[in-house]
Structure 1
Amino acid sequence: MTGTTAHTPLVDLRFHNDLTIDPAHAPNDISMLDFTIFLHEAYALPQELVVSLRAHPELQLRLLLVARNGTRRFTNVPQIVRTTKAMGFEVVLDDTDFENMAGFAEVVNWCNVIMGVHGAGLTNLVFLPMNVVAIQIASCYDLEEVAEHTYEPSTRDSGMLYLQYGISVDESTLLESYLRDHPMFIDPQSIHHQGWFKMGKIYLKQ
């Protein structure tokens, strides 16, 4: 795609970073915030800024839980839902209906918090308003930096607060498949040095 105006983001094949637009290398200094505003306008989303609960105490906090159904999924979703509800949140599961993307985008837009394990599901944060909280759960064994690199810049640049939690070995399903003296536990770099696909086959399955 070629051509742009001062108010229209340009989407093309240039890569600045994961889910990130670098204004210094983008036409007309377009930023990730400009892109999210563009999406909000395209889907006619009602919230640009999250609604203040101080101004509207009748509203309830909403948490979008990116549960995933394959690898890197929460194994205790019911417990998470119960605990989160006890804290005063309404929990929304990301059962994305791609036949009704506009409807799903509006559901996301009314959330105050998004939480999920590192993965593509967290890209739904582009539909959130500014001033919300994005919480990423990072798999253990040297994947915390990869997770942060992928989503921290985009959330920051979109006007959100980014938080990250790295799970411990005792919280990982890896213990269900490997003994504690396996090299993947005692020497994780030996696995990482075998390449992304070998590493992903083990660590990205937890």
Structure 2
Amino acid sequence: MLISREKTRKILNEDEMITMMKELGFRVIVATAEEARNVNKFANTVNSCSVLVGAHGAGLTNELFLPAGAVMVQVEPLGLEWAAANYYGNPAPTMHLHYLRYKIEPEESSLVELYGRHHSVITDPESVYAKGYREVKAMYLDQQDVRVNIVRFRKTMLQALKLVKNAPLTR
């Protein structure tokens, strides 16, 4: 399942991502916020999936509904390392899930187009964090979209495929 974001932290080349995942043999379900409104139905759909993919955001809380042994793949935008790890990565093993992190490169972030490759927003996220949460939210959560490097992301999806084909974790 691919969690499709519609406002912020969108995956700008989502169609290319879907094509690549299908080429690897995945049956891709694209989930939108609208579809997630019926929690019971959506939870059952997520529970039928072996892999959940999405950019950092609230939609990834649906990892709660994944079956044991499933894989959660988080596309991690710039400047969100702590939140990505603490909200989704670190809890995954306690839910008997495999976790894969796809940390984007600066060139995969829309922030490079807005600020330039050598701006502190890109090179020194700590300086943005020093200005407080409002600044962090504005820069990394609200302004940032992602254009995934398909060749590099393919390697992550091959890892996910290998994990779901191997022995599952148990609850």
Normalised to the residue count of structure 1, the TM-score between the two structures is 0.64
Give the equivalent residue in structure 2 for 1:86: 23
Aligned partner of 1:185 in structure 2 is 122
Deviates more, 1:158-167 or 1:88-97: 88-97
Corresponding residue of 1:146 = 83
SS in 2 for 1:185: helix
CA shift for structure 1 position 105: 1.5
CA contact (8 A) 2:106 2:112 kept: yes
Instruction: State the 1:145 CA deviation.
Output: 2.6
Q: Which residue type is aligned with residue 164 of structure 1? A: R
Distance change in 2, residues 1:183/1:98 (3 Å):
closer
1:100 aligns to 2:43 (yes or no):
no
Offset of 1:186 from its aligned partner? 3.7
Moved more, 95-104 or 82-91: 95-104
**Deviating 4+ runs (over 4 angstroms):** none
Over 3 Å counting, the alpha-carbon distance change for 1:184 and 1:122 in structure 2 is same
Q: Which structure would you say has the larger RCO, counting Cα contacts within 8 Å and 6 or more residues apart? A: 2
Structure 1 position 133 matched with structure 2 position 71: yes
> 156, 159, 172: which one pairs with 2:93?
156
| Count, aligned residues | 142
Corresponding residue for residue 110 of structure 1: 48
* Unaligned runs of at least 5 residues, structure 2: 145-171
Q: Which has the larger radius of gyration?
A: 1
Give the helix-richer structure, 1 or 2: 2
CA shift at 1:152, angstroms?
Answer: 2.0
Match of 1:56 in 2: none
TM-score (norm 2): 0.77
Structure 2 residue identity aligned to 1:112: S
Q: 1:203 aligns with which of 140, 144, 147?
A: 140
- Tell me if the contact between 2:53 and 2:73 (Cα under 8 Å) persists in the aligned partners: yes
Match of 2:103 among 138, 146, 166: 166
Alpha-carbon distance change, 103 to 198 in structure 1, aligned in 2, over 3 angstroms: same
2:5 is the alignment partner of 1:68: yes
Segments of structure 1 that go 5 or more residues without pairing to the other structure are 1-63
- Tell me the distance in 1 between the aligned counterparts of 2:124 and 2:44: 45
Cα deviation for residue 193 of structure 1 reads: 0.3
**DSSP 3-state at the match of 2:102:** strand
